[in-house]
Amino acid sequence: MQDLELIAFQIISNVGSARSAFVNAIRAAKAGDFARAEKLIEEGETDFLAGHKAHQQLLTDEAAGTAAPVTLLLAHAEDQLMSAEAFKILAREFIDLYQRVEEKAPR
């Protein structure tokens, strides 16, 4: 059980950091700092990948016949993973939108 809790907390921690980076990327783009926005997206991608890798280990274990019990903590971790992925998609869309708006803004 402790191993499962550790993996769940790894997922929550990493994807939480990723989600924060994606939100901050949107804020940077809104301020016109597109270089910072892209750097934050890259940082978020790194954190997201670490969380996804931990989740993937659970899937690999289950495919090999060692299924983890579904706990509220694990459900929360998976919810956070999906939330971070949604923020990643939205962050890219917002950054693109802010860039287009800035390109068309009168100078």
pLDDT at residue 89 in the model? 98
pLDDT at residue 105 in the model? 80
| Average pLDDT of adjacent 10-residue blocks, the chain of 107 residues | 87 98 98 98 98 94 91 96 97 97 84
Report the distance separating Cα 7 and Cα 54, nearest Å: 6
pLDDT at residue 106 in the model? 78
- The CATH T-level fold of domain 2-104 is Methane Monooxygenase Hydroxylase; Chain G, domain 1 (1.20.58)
Provide the annotated active-site residues: 76
Answer whether 78's CB lies under 8 Å from 55's CB: yes
96 is in an annotated binding site: no
pLDDT at residue 107 in the model? 65
Answer whether 13's CB lies under 8 Å from 82's CB: no
Rounded to two decimals, the pTM is 0.91
Domain spans of the chain? 2-104
pLDDT at residue 38 in the model? 98
